[in-house]
Amino acid sequence: MKKIIHVVGARPNFMKAAPVLAEMGNFPDQFESLLVHTGQHYDANMSKVFFDELGLPEPDVYLGVGSDSHARQTARIMIEFEEILQKHRPDLVSVVGDVNSTLACALTAAKLGVPVAHVEAGLRSFDRTMPEEINRILTDHASDFLFTTETSGNENLEKEGISLSKVHFVGNVMIDSLVRLLPVAQRRWEQAWAAIGASSAEDYVLVTLHRPANVDDLETLGEILEALRRIAADHRVVFPVHPRTRSRIQQLGSPDLDGNLLLSTPLGYLDFMALMSRASLILTDSGGIQEETTYLKIPCLTVRPNTERPITITQGTNQLVAANAEALVEKASEALTSRSVQDTEIPALWDGKAAQRIVDVLRQKWPA
């Protein structure tokens, strides 16, 4: 039996780790799984909601590192995780995504000679000002199993000199969670709509923003808010807001100039998915939401100059848009009147079976 440590640290990791953990659970004679939560996202209530809704087990180890600068947070995780590795002596460490926990645990394992599997490998924005890009590159070069979500990932890894014998195109585990839980989420739509405090159920634009470039720079945030106010003249706009972002908005004055612009508290996975599944348009800066909207065939405007998920643009529903009011209003108007997204194709292997393919690769490495 092989002992696998699965690492999660931030909410986007939970949706990616859950299917792999569940699939490994189908082979109890072959795999022993331990779940380590670094606590990089330290909102206990929100983490618990996501764990419960995704069916994740309670973490075997919770490090509770909390928020800090990139260097201090990464260093704290490495110090704590080294002790975990020395205590449990795993045969493999599985990391997901591109957050600081991903890089910290991959580096620590590699330095101790423990093989690393990177789920969601090979994605590149080619923008090294993004901390996530540095995390992606270094994690991939420290890994022994690289599981890619789209063929651009394979191409990127080959160009960087990584042996293709390590690379496995398996599809998108985030879509595994979406496929499994979408019916549950859709049954909760009325509950989710009531939870955000909306009084009627007309068409709406759903917004999610979290990247520092968009929410920490007050001039940029002001441009985005102005666009939302103008879009709200004709459409309900629903914006679940993280408390940190809300404080930035309050620095700019009253956030609700119009009843059509609704700022709500953050939502759990199922409630957000319920709202997303019926939205007329999504405006976001999230990587995962670019993928989910492509699967759901819902138009998506990504408020970023680049994306590490190019297939969401070339084959999906996603468009990049500048963070200024004129551009956002223009692109939103176009997206809300166009029907072209219905002609998009779901990318290859985004079929809800990516975790099965990941575990098949590992079973071939370690046959029962």
Catalytic residues: 210
Report the C-alpha dihedral over residues 150, 152, 153, 157, rounded to 10 degrees: 160
d(CA 76, CA 275): 36
Phi–psi pair at 132, nearest 5 degrees: -65, -35
Q: Cα angle vertex 262, ends 210, 330, to 5°?
A: 70
| Helix, strand or coil, per DSSP, at residue 169 | strand
Structure tokens at 179: 């496929």
Q: Could you tell me if 106 and 142 are in contact, meaning their C-beta atoms sit under 8 angstroms apart?
A: yes
Q: Could you tell me if 120 and 32 are in contact, meaning their C-beta atoms sit under 8 angstroms apart?
A: no
Cα 144 to chain centroid distance, Å, stands at 22
Integer Rg of the chain from CA: 20
Going by C-alpha positions, the residue among 53, 61, 58, 51 that lies closest to residue 10 is: 51
